[in-house]
Structure 1
């Protein structure tokens, strides 16, 4: 079962009841477009970096998300948020005092976009912050699953949508890993910045219920088609 909303997530969250979500897994805009220095165009990689998206110029302040995130998450729930190094401090300042645990998880991209000039590190790692309170339980089955590190390629064709193109589309494999360790079957997974719906696809494939918001109509229509199997 899925509930998909084409609209502002801040408005939708106000209508959600308290303690109704088991896992918040989301990828809000990083607000780093101002630092973009361009990208290398390669087949199947035309728009893979988050810092070239028009929507990424809209600031999303972590402190604005805190009241609703804290209210709607269940006492034993988990929150996972993709973010960038320049926002870690803001997330920590807002969320660390309000949750018992504030940690990070690393996604290592095994096929990052190359650099023509060897003048710096490749953008091969992405940070995911994780928050939870005492009393929650993980679904770890092996020691390897307990690592705060996961490797997978950047989302590529045919999984990556050609239309509409979403430069921050995440691989379902990565999202399924997080959902599988941080929730149980029939739990509710919520993504307030749904994009083209990869979190919803992963949740559906793992037998979770899903709720998602996306304000962009083209992205929302693509997400609905993927999640509902159209």
Structure 2
């Protein structure tokens, strides 16, 4: 494990480093057990897309909606403990239908309420992760009976221990639209809009970009990425439920500073660690499945010997 992450831990016995990079460490193990060894108030951002509560079991170990909230609350208590006072917890959660019926589970909302009421988290803001490339599902209700539309949005809870967590939307500004660029170039006459909003001269100030909305449109189309190609070449099955790198890039830039510590408790293909590495943040990622960790090495070019084989010199190291 890199020296910068060692102060995170009260003790490192049984914490098995799978590989190190310049800025972070991937650990093979149970994140609940790893967190139990970590210091209070030590992590600036916990960013994760945990296994969703789905009707059908998936290979990455999801729970049913009935048991999911209780299962996740055990992790949430540790999240609260290890999170820095001004830190943030971001959770990307997909929806689920009730078994056998075209009606929805409300497990994401039950989880949110319990985390706020029982653990004293604050809901800083809700986001919505829209994936326009998602396939229509469940087929029974969407493509066979045609009584529901395609489910393409995950809820994202941004939670914190204080009402004022570290954040700056200046770090995630979007390029201005053509109409806004024209307005900045040609000027704008302040006036009262039909809605009653008074638009002042400040509206024409160039702030180097537009403030993004809380709807994140991010297509998950990674089928031809270097990660996927290298996994295929090495005969390693990629993680089946990856979130797009734009997702982790956005929240890391929005909610942390350089050299802050980002923690991913359900590492998967380690998109979070890859984003943190590129954005000059320290990171710690924990994954229970060794196959997924072996594939995640391909996110880090410096660990790759050639196009087919990962650099195994970092594997099986103990702290």
Matched, 1:153 2:173: no
The 1:158–1:138 alpha-carbon spacing in structure 2 relative to 1, beyond 3 Å, is same
Secondary structure of the structure 1 residue equivalent to 2:26: strand
The 1:144–1:88 alpha-carbon spacing in structure 2 relative to 1, beyond 3 Å, is farther
Is 67-76 or 155-164 further displaced after alignment? 155-164
Name stretches of at least 5 consecutive residues in structure 2 with no aligned partner. Answer: 1-22, 96-105, 137-141, 174-208, 305-319
Question: What do the CA deviations read for 1:27-55 (whole angstroms, capped 9, x no partner)?
Answer: 111131xx24xxxxxxxxxxxxxx64352
Matched, 1:75 2:81: no
Under a length normalisation based on structure 1, what TM-score does the superposition of the two structures give?
Answer: 0.84
* Residue of structure 2 in register with 1:125 after alignment: 153
1:20 Cα deviation after fit: 0.9
Is 57-66 or 178-187 further displaced after alignment? 57-66
Name stretches of at least 5 consecutive residues in structure 1 with no aligned partner. Answer: 37-50
Question: What do the CA deviations read for 1:89-129 (whole angstroms, capped 9, x no partner)?
Answer: 33223311312335321111121214544331112111111
Judge conservation of contact 1:92–1:102 (CA < 8 Å) in 2.
no
- Equivalent residues in 2 for 1:35-54 (5 A)? 35-36=55-56, 52-54=58-60
Q: How many residues are aligned here?
A: 214
* Residue of structure 2 in register with 1:11 after alignment: 33
User: Please, what is the CA RMSD of the aligned residues?
Assistant: 2.2
Matched, 1:205 2:278: yes
Q: Which has the larger radius of gyration?
A: 2
* Residue of structure 2 in register with 1:47 after alignment: none
Under a length normalisation based on structure 2, what TM-score does the superposition of the two structures give?
Answer: 0.62
Judge conservation of contact 2:262–2:284 (CA < 8 Å) in 1.
yes
In 1, distance between residues paired with 2:250 and 2:112? 24
The 1:228–1:67 alpha-carbon spacing in structure 2 relative to 1, beyond 3 Å, is farther
1:134 Cα deviation after fit: 2.4
- Equivalent residues in 2 for 1:70-219 (5 A)? 70-85=80-95, 86-97=106-117, 98-101=120-123, 103-114=125-136, 116-117=143-144, 118-132=146-160, 133-141=162-170, 142=173, 144-159=210-225, 161=228, 162=232, 163-219=236-292
1:71 Cα deviation after fit: 0.8
Judge conservation of contact 2:123–2:157 (CA < 8 Å) in 1.
no
